[in-house]
Amino acid sequence: MSNLSSLSQLIHALSKAEKRSFSQYAALQQRGKSYLSLYEIIRKGKSADIERDFMLANPDSDFVSTVQYLRTLLIKTLLTLRNEQADEELLLNGILEIKLLFRKGLIDDAFKLITKYKALARKAEKFDYCMLLEKMELQHQNWHQFDGIPDEGQLVKLQSHLRRNIQYELNLADHSALFELLYFRYLQNGNVLSDKDKDHLNDLVVTEMNLSGNQRFESFDLNRNHLLFQSVYFMMTGDHRSSLRTYYELDKLFGQYAHLWQDEPIVYINHIRGILNNLFNTQQVSEMDYFTGKLRVLSQKNPQLIIDQVICVAELKKSLMLRQFEKGIILIEKEFAQLFSHTDLLVASDKAELSLFAGLIYFHSKQYRKSAVLLRKIIYLEPTKNNWLWKMIKWLNLLVHIELNDYDYLQNETGSVERLLKKQSIYYPTDKALMHYVKRLPLCMNRKAKVSLAKECLTHIESPEKNRYEIQFLNTMNIQFWLSHKLTTK
């Protein structure tokens, strides 16, 4: 990400209070105010070329150095404004203070602070910091001839605490690794194709069951990883209702331990994203408003573009499921217009997801050109790691060009899509039926032949209720609705 993109994302993530405080802070600075001009250009979000507009207003200023200065000043201001530091920040600052005291020879004060921050680390379940503090304590007790340890029993106790925290971190690392591997497979391959393919996940499932069944420790992070593993496993095997139940358990856990994640809201945002995804796949869209409402509340204190992206995608999914396409267009062009003007600040997968569902709204509204423009911006970028998402984008792009009667493009792109599906092992029965349709369509010389081809394709595509392994693809693309429409369109 360029410095300008980083700066833009930082400015758009500021809360109203932070923007007000920054303006007051900047007014006290003696430096020339060209950086404030840049700040206002980015904050208003109306500039098509930020550098050009800045240089027109400030011809004697250097754009690159102003970007760097403004970014540095913003970060400095935000750090200064934090009235209440998070537990992790307190621990980091505490460790620096302890090191300083040891260097200056204030040994007793340093050991008192170690005791204080160990208690905080245990309360906040930051056992990695407990480990660091205990290691520091043992080192300095050794270097100062164990002056603060009354007997051997106390030393052995301190050593055992350190070993236990090391063992906990290893246990947490094992749990995290299993979830990360499973989630990576999900992003790469999507749902399994059959019960036989389901067995290929057994290596991770058995290991996770052994870890959970022989649990020596209890913490928010361990419980969260266990439930996340289960929920993703159920999603991969097409059991979205079980995945949803697991996510509800996870939601209770997040509610009980809100103080442990409130300073890292991305953890909770991704959790809500998982719930919304399962509600969509189980066609319970009426329940979505409750969880998008939680995100709206969260965005008041943490105005992040990713929150707007998750809310917008959920609302677009709801419009697709209810076939309220006009409402979806209002969301894109009015309610979330600012989000769509700043998609370059999103990570590739979030940008692709947003473009997919906006493209689907335009597609089903028969605004094919608008859908094509959105998809073109994504298609020619580097593919995202989420192969499942990338596949749907490629398919939608083909369907759009069918509606645009661009058969020359179809001929070139169809082979590319087929090679992609085979190479990445995500060639599902519905993909094969659609590929047959796309290949045969240019050969159909009249409406009767096209209707016959659409009927043939429909017979090979099961409903989402019957085909659990493709439920996400079928609900998202709404292929049956589109093909059924082909039977009646003249």
Taking CB atoms within 8 Å and a gap of at least 24, the contacts of 244-252 are 244/275, 244/278, 244/279, 244/282, 244/284, 247/271, 247/274, 247/275, 247/278, 248/275, 250/224, 251/275
Question: Residue 125 CB: number of other CB atoms within 10 A?
Answer: 19
Measured distance CA(242)–CA(232) in Å, rounded: 10
Q: Distance of CA 309 to CAs 72, 208, 345, Å?
A: 27, 32, 11
For residues 489 and 353, state if they share a domain: yes
Measured distance CA(359)–CA(372) in Å, rounded: 7
* Chain segment 225-271, per-residue pLDDT in tens: 999 999 999 988 888 889 999 999 999 999 999 888 888 888 899 99
For residues 140 and 30, state if they share a domain: no
Q: Distance of CA 282 to CAs 243, 371, 387, 443, Å?
A: 10, 26, 22, 37
Measured distance CA(228)–CA(232) in Å, rounded: 6
The domain containing residue 41 runs over which residues?
Answer: 3-81
Q: Would you say residue 283 lies in a domain?
A: no
Measured distance CA(450)–CA(471) in Å, rounded: 26
Position 11: which residue type? I
pTM of the model: 0.82
Task: Map residue 297 onto helix, strand or coil.
Answer: helix
For residues 63 and 95, state if they share a domain: no
For residues 358 and 379, state if they share a domain: yes
Backbone angles phi, psi at 361, to 5 degrees: -60, -45
Q: Would you say residue 368 lies in a domain?
A: yes
Task: Map residue 449 onto helix, strand or coil.
Answer: helix
Q: Would you say residue 282 lies in a domain?
A: no
What does the CA dihedral 37, 38, 43, 47 come to, rounded to 10 degrees?
100
Helices of type H across 190-302: 195-198, 202-213, 220-236, 240-256, 258-261, 266-281, 288-301
For residues 420 and 468, state if they share a domain: yes
* Chain segment 415-429, per-residue pLDDT in tens: 888 887 877 666 778
For residues 42 and 110, state if they share a domain: no
Q: Would you say residue 61 lies in a domain?
A: yes
Position 19: which residue type? K
Q: Residue 382 has what pLDDT?
A: 64
Q: Residue 84 has what pLDDT?
A: 63
Q: Kindly give the parts of the chain with pLDDT less than 50.
A: none
Q: Residue 471 has what pLDDT?
A: 82
Q: Residue 302 has what pLDDT?
A: 75
For residues 51 and 97, state if they share a domain: no
Taking CB atoms within 8 Å and a gap of at least 24, the contacts of 449-454 are 450/486, 451/486, 451/487, 454/483, 454/486, 454/487
- What residues contact residue 104 under an 8 Å CB cut-off, 6+ apart? none
Measured distance CA(179)–CA(32) in Å, rounded: 51
Question: Residue 333 CB: number of other CB atoms within 10 A?
Answer: 12
The domain tally of the chain equals 3
Contact 344, 311 (CB under 8 A): no
Q: Residue 330 has what pLDDT?
A: 95
Burial-class residue 175 by CB neighbours within 10 Å (0-12, 13-18, 19+): buried
Q: Would you say residue 324 lies in a domain?
A: no
- To the nearest whole percent, how much of the chain has pLDDT over 70? 96
Contact 238, 468 (CB under 8 A): yes
For residues 96 and 62, state if they share a domain: no
Task: Examine the fold and report which residue of 109, 126, 149 is the final residue of a domain before the chain moves on.
Answer: 149
What is the DSSP track for 259-282?
Answer: HHHTT-THHHHHHHHHHHHHHHHT
Q: Residue 446 has what pLDDT?
A: 87
For residues 489 and 422, state if they share a domain: yes
Kindly state the tokens that stand for 196: 């036989």
Measured distance CA(137)–CA(114) in Å, rounded: 7
Q: Would you say residue 295 lies in a domain?
A: no
